A and B are shown apart, each in its own frame.
Chain A
Amino acid sequence: MRLSRPITVAALAAIVVLATAACGGGDGGGSGGTITADGSSTVGPFTTKAAEDFKAQGGVDVTVGISGTGGGFERFCRDETDISNASRPIKDEEAAICADGGIEYLELTVATDALTNVVNPENTWVDCLTVDQLKSIWEPGSKVDSWRDVDESYPDVPLRLYGAGTDSGTFDYFTDAIVGEEGASRTDYNASEDDNVTVQGVAGERGGLGYFGFSYFEENQGRLKALEIDGGSGCVAPSVASAQDGTYAPLSRPLFVYVKRSSFDDDENVRDFVAYMLDNEQTIAEEARFVPLSDAKLAEEQAKLEDATS
């Protein structure tokens, strides 16, 4: 009892074609000259945009993962990636692990960020929060469950919190700057490494409140409202300007890219990519809706690159 011959032949032919394609390697792509990047989901889109533009210019492929700043460093220090994206500086413990593994690295600042607090557009009652109010909302054990608990003049709308997961540099930075201690946060909120989930959550919930990098707000301006933050000298709105000059305190922060020294030294493609990233930092940052570095800062970073190459 045989299946009809033409069908079998056709199926076999299709399988052979696919198999050769799989083993042979695609057109130009593949493990050959691939650069591996992983880390922060805040910085990820920047590196991804850089990778796209780089490839369009004839550069090699770059893969970009978003395991979170912490997760990214873990892989980086185990020699699994060439580049680690980070929305906070490398911690001492992480640096020690890298040192143990013999991984040396170059730390580059590639953009500035204004960590933005967002609410739903239907939230008409609040425009500005003080750092103390934010702290009371987010600190461990907080019992603030309704907007009325934040300020008595606010309506009694349930507070729905969305934020970064603990593997995220955004989380580390936010808790450090607002609550005063890195990692100290209440636990009953929707936590996700992927900031897009936070966007969706706040955009869909009238009483929603969340935080993430400025680029996520910029990308979704129509569905979210950004709060001004009073860090002690009046309410300041997050913006390119206030992030660059640091007036958006305490939530303006640098975004980093860490490059493995051995990849940098040995692989011309890596050098080209990193140089490309810095040379075109302004364009990439704007396209990816990031806050570009100030000219002075950019010059500093390029000088670092110069030193490293020589």
Chain B
Amino acid sequence: MSAQDATLGQTGTLALPRKRIRWGEVLVQGILFLAAAVSVLTTVGIVVSLLVPAGEFFREVSPRDFLTGTTWAPLFEPAHFGVLPLVVGTFLISLLSALVAFPLGVGVAIYLSEYARPRAASVLKPALEILAAIPTVVLGYFALTFVTPLLRDLGVQVEIFNALSASLVLGVMLIPTVASLSEDAMAAVPRDLRQGGYALGADKLQVSTRIVVPAAISGIIAAFVLAFARAVGETMIVLIAAGQLPQITFDPRETIETMTAFIGATGNGDVPTGSIEYKTIFAVGLTLFAITYAINLLSIRLVRKFREVYE
């Protein structure tokens, strides 16, 4: 570190010089701003790449037919462009996986935060990260080749491609997301609150469920919403295990198709540009983007609403 421009003037007092423009600093700032701009450009790129072809699509297919139609058969004669089966498929899977991930994730978090000894926790937490790191293609393959036969052995009449296997595996995949964010939130709850509870004679169950969880609720909700958004956007697990039969059904044993699976299957390799098929990718992509964006906004709002601030 070099000494700088603060000089002692003749009078012996500190006289700071007039501000000189340091071009090095300006250059640095410029570069940094450009780096940050990459992210903005990315969003602009995503929006433009979705909106333009989607716009063309909606000139040929009315948005109303698209959003309310119940048959998705864009490439057949006669073509049907109702996106509802895809949306229902997506939400069916997301909700089922949430049913798995939310309770189990919070359970894991409570265990790690309130019950586990520090040494055990230091081993278990990285193990949880390992679960989170498994590539989704491996998980999808696991769902198709292990979970589906297992379900059938257990007597559940699932079709070879079905929503249930995919949801179960997706749910387990999301446990680390829910658990780590919830656990962070719980760790942020001051020890005093717990101690106060114990001092008043509460047992662990009461402290966990009536003190810690409510105090950490904003983080837990954020975790839920993030996990749900990831479930909505997940592609490989559903592409491999859930099927390509767009239909409106709430029976998880049946074959369905999600928005992401449609995009992935249709975009495989290449599709004729300019054809209506190409444009359906963007219309569905836009719908998907809008949904995840809305979920994200919701999460920000919910977190703000429930946040409890400590000191």
Contact = CB atoms under 8 A, between A and B. Distances in A.
- Classify A-B as touching or not with yes or no (CB < 8 A): yes
Interface of A: 38, 65-68, 70-71, 74-75, 140, 160, 165-167, 181, 183-185, 187-194, 197, 200-201, 203-205
Interface of B: 71, 73, 75-78, 80, 159-161, 243-245, 247, 255, 265, 268-273, 275, 277
A189 B257 CA distance: 11
B247 to A, nearest CB: 6
A190 B244 contact: yes
B271 A71 contact: yes
A189 B245 contact: yes
Contact of B75 (A66, A165, A184, A201): A165
Contacts of B255: 190
Contacts of A140: 76-78
A183 B277 CA distance: 14
A74 B243 contact: no
Contact of B269 (A65, A183, A203): A65
A71 B270 contact: yes
Contacts of A160: 159
Interface centre among B78, B243, B271 (most CB of A within 10 A): B271
13 contacts: A66-B269, A67-B268, A68-B269, A71-B269, A71-B270, A74-B272, A75-B270, A165-B265, A187-B71, A187-B76, A190-B244, A192-B265, A193-B268
A191 B78 CA distance: 16
Contacts of A68: 269
Given A71-B272, A140-B78, 11 more contacts: A65-B269, A66-B269, A67-B270, A74-B271, A74-B273, A140-B77, A166-B277, A167-B277, A183-B76, A190-B243, A200-B160
Contacts of A70: 272
Contacts of A67: 268-271
Nearest to A160: B159
Contacts of B272: 70-71, 74
Contacts of A203: 160
B277 to A, nearest CB: 7
B245 A166 contact: no
A71 B255 CA distance: 26
A167, A181, A193: most-surrounded residue (chain B CB, <10 A):
A167
A70 to B, nearest CB: 7
Q: Which 4 A-B pairs have the closest CB atoms?
A: A204-B160, A67-B269, A187-B73, A166-B75
Nearest to B71: A187
Contacts of A184: 77
A274 B39 CA distance: 47
B160 A193 contact: no
Contacts of B273: 74
A185 B75 CA distance: 10
B276 to A, nearest CB: 11
B293 to A, nearest CB: 29
Given A140-B78, A160-B159, A185-B76, A192 B244 contact: yes
Contacts of B75: 165-167
A201 B277 contact: no
Nearest to A205: B160
B259 to A, nearest CB: 16
Contacts of A66: 269
Contacts of A197: 244
Contacts of A183: 76-77
Nearest to A203: B160
A190 B245 contact: yes
Contacts of B270: 38, 65, 67, 71, 74-75
A201 to B, nearest CB: 6
The CB with the most chain A CB atoms within 10 A, among B161, B272, B275, is that of B272
A205 B243 CA distance: 13
A277 B163 CA distance: 43
A210 to B, nearest CB: 11
A32 to B, nearest CB: 23
The residue in A67, A160, A187, A200 that gathers the most chain B C-beta atoms within 10 A of its C-beta is A187
B269 A38 contact: yes
B269 A188 contact: no
Nearest to B148: A204
A193 B159 contact: no
Contacts of B76: 140, 166, 183, 185, 187
Name, among B80, B268, B269, B271, the residue most crowded by chain A CB atoms within 10 Å (CB to CB).
B269
A201 B271 contact: no
A80 to B, nearest CB: 8
A229 to B, nearest CB: 23
A205 B162 CA distance: 12
B76 to A, nearest CB: 5
A206 to B, nearest CB: 10
A190 B265 CA distance: 12
A71 B272 CA distance: 6
A47 B272 CA distance: 22
B17 to A, nearest CB: 34
B144 to A, nearest CB: 8
Contacts of B271: 67, 71, 74, 167
A193 B268 CA distance: 9
Contacts of A188: 245, 247
A167 B71 CA distance: 19
A188 B270 CA distance: 24
A201 B77 contact: no
Which among B78, B160, B255, B271 has the highest number of chain A CB atoms within 10 Å? B160
Contacts of A200: 160
Contacts of B71: 187
